[in-house]
Structure 1
Amino acid sequence: MLHRVLSSLAVCSITAAAVCGCTGGSQPASKAQKAASAPGEVQIEEVFSGSESLNGTPLQYPAGNPELRLFRVEIPVGGKIPLHTHPAPMLVYVQGENSGDLLNTRVQPDGSKVSSVFKPGEAFIEGMSEPHYVENEGNQPTVVWVMVASVEGLPTTEWMQ
């Protein structure tokens, strides 16, 4: 099963690379380029790429049988996901339309806090074992898509006191 999934991912990656190469490179297409595209033409736009967490920690993957997970999370107005960590890195994307901002607050080793606001259409990498919480302080629900690069049997979230 894993072999089929990895093979499919490889084929998709090769196809995407080939299409990007045919359209003039790997740079995201501008809105003007999209508008000028022929009807039915495949369009590929890189939304985000990164190799380190918000704290600047290089990505590390847990040992074990690989497993990708995708979650849609909707945080209501005034909602908060309390202090937690993740044992595997994750890519977080704030939905580009019909979503509010996401406030991400990271607790540093010295106890200080660093906060960042992510607007619709923005993405970031959440690192392994970095304590943080997220909130919606806006006036509309915030929708985030979370892709976790984990391993079978490993929890996605570890809650802190």
Structure 2
Amino acid sequence: MKTFPLKTLLAALTALALLGCTTISPSTDIEREILLQSSKSWDGTPYIRYPDAVPELTVLKLTIPANTKLPWHTHPIPNAGYILSGELMIEDRNSGQTRRVKQGEALAEMVNITHRGVTGDEPVELVVFYAGSEGIPLAE
């Protein structure tokens, strides 16, 4: 059996990638929409770095009742939320800055900044995506 040198294998893989063989064919019916892509939180604070540990992703679906003020909290890791229904007001405890997020909108959450969410007259359903590491809490 003949073996290929590593350089030949790498060249072949590179050629396949350049030809688009490793991506979804344009003829498929998949629609793609970037909901959020950011290197900073909603208040403009840049994300500094990830923890030096094995990555662990967590996805939560939350339902927050109407007329609820969540407790003040921080997140030690980057995360993002997507509002499925309702409307959520996010408040920064120190600056007083606020941001209203509505159904169909995404939000890059704050890291190590005290904040909370407040609902109005309707409950809020949202999905939150956390990019953390094992043993690191999602919120404190």
TM-score relative to the length of structure 1: 0.67
Does 2:109 match 1:126?
yes
1:66-122 CA deviation, whole Å, 9 max, x = no partner?
Answer: 100000111111112110000101011111xxx1101100123xxx31111101111
Aligned to 2:138: 156
Q: TM-score, normalised to structure 2's length?
A: 0.77
Contact 2:42 2:109 in 1 (8 A): yes
Question: Conserved in 2, the CA contact under 8 Å of 1:92 and 1:123?
Answer: yes
Q: How far apart in 2 are the matches of 1:104 and 1:127? A: 10
Q: Which runs of 4+ in 1 moved over 6 A?
A: none
Separation in 1, partners of 2:110, 2:66: 26
* Alignment check: 8 A CA contact 1:79 1:136 kept: yes
For the Cα contact (< 8 Å) 2:78–2:130, is it kept in 1?
yes
In structure 2, what is the Cα distance between the partners aligned to 1:65 and 1:156? 15
Instruction: Tell me the residue number matched to 1:92.
Output: 81
The structural deviation recorded for 1:62 is 1.8
Q: Check whether the contact 2:54–2:134 (CA below 8 A) recurs between aligned residues.
A: yes
Root-mean-square deviation (Å): 2.2
Alignment length, in residue pairs?
120
Per-residue CA deviation, residues 126-156 of structure 1 (Å, 9 max, x unaligned), is: 132011010101x321111100000000011
CA distance in structure 1 between the partners assigned to 2:42 and 2:31 by the alignment: 29
Pairing partner for 2:69 from 65, 80, 89: 80
The amino acid across from 2:76 in the alignment is P
In the TM superposition, what is the alpha-carbon distance from 1:55 to its structure 2 partner? Answer: 2.3
Give unmatched runs, 5+ long, in structure 1. Answer: 1-13, 24-39
The C-alpha deviation readout for 1:9-45, integer Å capped at 9, x for no partner, is xxxxx99x934x837xxxxxxxxxxxxxxxx822222
- Cα distance between partner residues in 2 of 1:127 and 1:62: 16
Q: Which has the higher helix share?
A: 1
Which structure: larger Rg?
2
* Structure 2 equivalent of residue 144 of structure 1: 126
**Alpha-carbon distance in 2 for matches of 1:63, 1:128:** 16
